[in-house]
A and B are shown apart, each in its own frame.
Chain A
Amino acid sequence: MTETTRRTLLGATLIAAPLAAPALAQPRWPVRPVQMLCPWAAGGGTDAVLRIIAAILEKDLGQPFNVVNRTGGSGVVGHAAIAQANPDGYTLGMLTAEICMLHWQGLTEITYKNYTPLGLMNNDPPGIQVNASSPYRDVKALADAIKASRPGQMKASGTGQGGIWHLALAGWLGAMGLPANHVRWVPSNGAAPAMQDLAAGGLDFTTNSVVEARAMLDAGRARSLAVMAGERITAFPNIPTLKEAMGIDYQTGAWRGIAGPPGIPAEARSTMDAALDRAFKSKEYQDFLNARGFGLVYANAADFGKFMEQADASLGNAMKAAGLAKAT
């Protein structure tokens, strides 16, 4: 009897030992594949950036990082899925600037506070593009023309009503001391149709990101006058910043960062924080983003949290100024 008990005990310890070991020591993360949720469709810019990050993390951390596109509801569905995922560290995802806009529009309850920020990986600042034959040679000339124009006389586009580039326009006008609707916003189905309409002469300027304007810029059908960023974009070194060109320090952008649900294990958080730092600095990531024209901006886990807090306040102000916010 005692013999059996002893043996059973011994056996139990032997079996339990490898299972218990990681729990007793510092738990290692990741020990199994990690799911990375993308709130936007496969083939888009967010998807492309997340996939390159996932590929680098997979090599670095030795576990598969699987990108899963959870689309729908203009990003609401995917962002909610990340916030509400099991906080075991094995479901993470990519947040985009929309997370600091959707709740102001009253479309979701979820804000940036519902996540564990892990790292800001990219920011595409808006440019100010005009038709190639436009009389405005630099952004100062355009700004003077805007100030001299009747309210609503000039037309701009770049995305849908209340989209990130609409807010960029509202913010820029605000920084010049003009009301947000001084230039009329023409909603479009994304940046590509807006650039096409700019080339066809239907608009005065667009405020979508420079990378989205790239095709028309390369074709010589449009010119980019300035970029609303702290410094020039690596891939477009000839475009001055707003500050350089007209002394207004206004910056915004469509940013993307990695985050998880609240309360993920500390080990997962610290490992990801360091791994994302390595991934951002890797040649592979830098080359990929430069080739696509995406803006290279990084912030670690703690700074990404602060960045989102600022972005949320700034976008909220722009939305209130443009009369787009429903929530207060």
Chain B
Amino acid sequence: MTELLEGARLVAAPDVLIAILASAIYGLVVGSLPGLSATMATALLVPVTFWLSPIAAIATIITASAMAIFSGDIPGCLLRIPGTPASAAYTNEAYALTRKGQAELALGAGLWFSAIGGIVGTLSLVLMAPLLAEVALSFSTYEYFWLAFLGLMCATLVARSSPIKAIASMLLGLLIACIGMENPAGTPRFTFGVPDLLGGIEVIPALVGVFAVSEVMRAMVTAEPPKLPRRKFGSILANQWTLTKKYQWPMWRGNVIGIIIGVLPGAGADMAAWVSYATSKKFSKEPEKFGTGHPEGLVEASASNNASLASGWVPSLLFGIPGDTITAIAIGVLYMKGLNPGPTLFTENARSMYALYIIFILANIIMIPLGIMMIRMASLVLRAPRAGIMPLILLLCAVGSFATGNNLFAVLLVGLFGILGFVMERNGYPVAALVLGIVMGSMVEQNFITSLIKSDGDVMPFIERPVSSVLAALTFGALLWPLGVWIWNRTQGRRLPASGAAE
């Protein structure tokens, strides 16, 4: 209890409160601009966090990402262009509502259920994480190896592209993780005599490149979004309570699906929204109304994508395995601020954890008034010329990556990863899998090698220990899942004589 109060005291510090407010406004603006994702908003915050206290640094990331995920709904609803990929699943639905003259209802649903989803997701974090932390304290390198391996498998399993391309992206990430001498043998690998490569590819410049620079490049090759006509909005939150009561079940289902997807490594808010929108349609009593301006799917998916944000922090804080791309960046900041992820964070640094929970709740509460202001000012913000914003972002990427180590090499890395991210995205290779490979490659290798050293080369402890045997079974399940699906499709296909003949 004293720790809860201590946590509240940490959050009540003026620098933390200012950080929350400023990052909330920043997140709302960045999220509403089409082409700028919540992950990018987080990546650009990293250099700013250098000058902040640890709690304020984490607060900016939590607040900005939550706001950006909601704010992405605004241009989706008004222009039919999702502000962030997390809103893409229900953009058509929201736009259809606007065309029916119910823009307030669509935006209000986005705001109200985002806030609810965020709070329910936080509660899942509050309940799950400390329980899991107790268990995780007895984890040795064997268990960590399986967890990291399982995380890599998830990245490919949940990718919305072809599994082959997802695996290719992940392997490229693993290769990048091999660079440097931070490996179990302490031997430089792939450094080509360049001293800057000895420490390996730093995760933060790689992420800034992949998520921010590549998005600027993408903006250059796509057409500028149309200007938003000025309009007056009626009451935003009217009717939301009726919606809450009417669509109570979809809302809860959205929350739960969001939480589960958030916990899975590599799958984040956009995946949560797609899955929730699909389940909503599947289980709806009136599926024929979907796509014509029906709020049911909006309710479920809006709750889901914000719920996934909070639960994505569970594996990140406990094991250092990112639940989504936003927490992949947050992990880097946690290390920088001396809040190293691990079960001990919950046992020894409980007040920081309570502070983190309070920030989550606070961010989702202030989302409602700030969100309403943002909706009312949307036409103004969306008028910002892209030719002015994109160079600014590029400049921030360069300055920010230089600030991390005062080393020009980091700026070069950002540029290179920007090009890599752009080319990969264009050809349908999921960047999230690449990022997971980079972040977790050394974790997989380190724990595998150290486990073998400890067991004198015996592989039995990997499957003998009770927890590791369960994790091993899960991993092989995930590994064989795409194969199973493929075989299932083939055997189903056999029924058709044509495909049998083609074979």
Contacts and interface: CB of A to CB of B under 8 A. Distances in A.
A41 B405 contact: yes
B139 to A, nearest CB: 6
Contacts of A215: 344, 348
Nearest to B142: A202
A9 interface: no
Contacts of B198: 72-74, 76-77, 107
Nearest to B450: A186
A149 to B, nearest CB: 13
Given A187-B186, A200-B140, A74 B450 contact: no
Contacts of B344: 192, 196, 215-216, 219
Contacts of B454: 155, 186, 202-203
Contacts of A163: 186
Interface residues of B, number: 43
B348 A192 contact: no
B182 A74 contact: yes
A197 B141 CA distance: 7
Contacts of B338: 43-44
A72 B195 contact: yes
Given A41-B336, A73-B198, A187 B184 contact: yes
A42 B342 contact: no
B453 A69 contact: no
Interface string B62-90: 00000000000000000000000000000
Contacts of B337: 43
B406 A68 contact: yes
B450 A69 contact: no
Interface string B483-495: 0000000000000
Contact of A152 (B182, B347, B450, B456): B456
A43 B406 contact: no
Contacts of A162: 186
Contacts of B138: 200-201
Contacts, number: 116
A69 B404 CA distance: 8
B22 interface: no
A152 to B, nearest CB: 7
Interface in A280-304: none
B195 A43 contact: no
B336 A42 contact: yes
B373 interface: no
Given A160-B186, A187-B184, A187-B186, A192 B340 contact: yes
Interface in A161-214: 161-163, 184-189, 192-193, 196-197, 199-203
Given A74-B198, A152-B456, A186-B453, 20 more contacts: A42-B336, A72-B195, A72-B410, A73-B198, A74-B182, A76-B195, A77-B198, A77-B405, A80-B195, A160-B182, A160-B184, A161-B187, A185-B453, A188-B450, A192-B342, A196-B342, A200-B138, A201-B138, A203-B454, A219-B344
Interface of A: 41-44, 68-74, 76-77, 80, 105, 107-108, 152, 155, 157, 160-163, 184-189, 192-193, 196-197, 199-203, 215-216, 218-219, 324
